Amino acid sequence: MQFKKVIILSLLLSGLSAMAQTAPAADTPAAEPEDTLAFNAGVVSEYRYRGIAQGGMKPAVQGGVDYTDKTGFYIGSWASSITWIKDSAMANQSAKGPVELDIYGGYRGNLTDDIAFDIGGLEYDYVGNNLSTLPGFANANTFEVYLALTKGAFTAKISDSTTNLFGTVNSKGSRYLDLSYTIDLDNGMTLVPHIGDQYVANNALSYDDYSLTFNKDFGDGVAVSVAAIGTNFKSRHGAYTLPGTGGKELSGSTLVLGLKKTF
């Protein structure tokens, strides 16, 4: 009997030892966040920004790079082909600036367990643009500071321009309010309704824009998007046209298709 007790006790101790080796320790620290560097490239059927066509309603090539430090600080750059500066010129004028180059940086963190924030600055640089040489325009280059708060699927973001806004004279202090809600449809699919309010300081050009975007992530960094986009610009101010587009209404409703690769 004593021998049996010894065997049983040995088996129990062996089992407890195995459990101790395989079970995670309660005080194991969480994995440290890592620095990340990511590149992206894509194409869209047309480039819309805040509801307004930036490239004469023609396809655009886009790409960027982002670096995020494990502390939450980040910096990045993104570029797209555009035509709106050239299209702003009358027949007897000349304007250039074929590329939008965005340079941004900021800090992301958490205010509480369920509210995250993102604060930073963004420079819209229209490389080599001479928009200010056209009568009634200022330099196209624009700088904005922004603050975003996210709770669950809902994000609210406010951007404030510290310069004139996209070539609009005397528009320093313009603001854009962006509200969006990300609905997870599973299998790499999301649906994102959005509404935005663009206030243009000292100018009768303020308007609202809205969109509904479907995204599908196919893995390996490949994603496609379909966005239904519109604004109320025409109902508030009349048709938004530029001389170089042949009278195209650049603020009307449209469907934008996109393909993006992140690596």
Residue 186 within a domain: yes
| 33 confidence band (pLDDT: 50, 70, 90) | confident
pTM score:
0.87
Residue 150 within a domain: yes
Q: Which residue has the tokens 């027949």?
A: 91
Q: What is the pLDDT of residue 28?
A: 59
Does 255 have pLDDT greater than 60? yes
Beta-strand relationship, 154-161 and 36-44: unpaired
Residue 202 within a domain: yes
HSE at residue 135, side-chain half, CA atoms within 13 A, is 3
pLDDT tens-digit readout, 165-199: 999 999 999 999 999 999 999 999 999 999 999 99
Number of domains present in the structure of the chain: 1
**Nearest alpha-carbon partner for 198 in 177, 228, 219, 181:** 177
DSSP secondary structure letter of residue 162: S
**Which pair of tokens denotes residue 166?**
């996209």
Structural domain containing residue 67: 33-262
Residue 177 within a domain: yes
Residue 13 within a domain: no
Could you tell me the CA-to-CA distances from 155 to 103, 149, 152, 178, 199 in Å, in that order?
22, 6, 8, 8, 19
pLDDT tens-digit readout, 103-124: 999 999 999 999 999 999 999 9
Residue 21 within a domain: no
pLDDT tens-digit readout, 211-250: 999 999 999 999 999 999 999 999 999 999 999 999 999 9
Does 18 have pLDDT greater than 50? no
Length of the chain equals: 263
CATH number, residue 227: 2.40.160.40
| 31 confidence band (pLDDT: 50, 70, 90) | low
Q: What is the pLDDT of residue 12?
A: 38
Instruction: Please tell me whether residue 49 adopts helix, strand or coil conformation.
Output: strand
Does 20 have pLDDT greater than 50? no
pLDDT tens-digit readout, 49-80: 999 999 999 999 999 999 999 999 999 999 99
Average pLDDT score over residue span 79-108 = 97
Residue 7 within a domain: no
Average pLDDT score over residue span 77-93 = 96
Instruction: Report d(CA 184, CA 12) in Å as an integer.
Output: 47
Residue 149 within a domain: yes
Higher pLDDT, 257 or 24: 257
Does 36 have pLDDT greater than 70? yes
What percent of the chain stands above pLDDT 90? Answer: 86
Does 9 have pLDDT greater than 70? no
DSSP secondary structure letter of residue 165: B
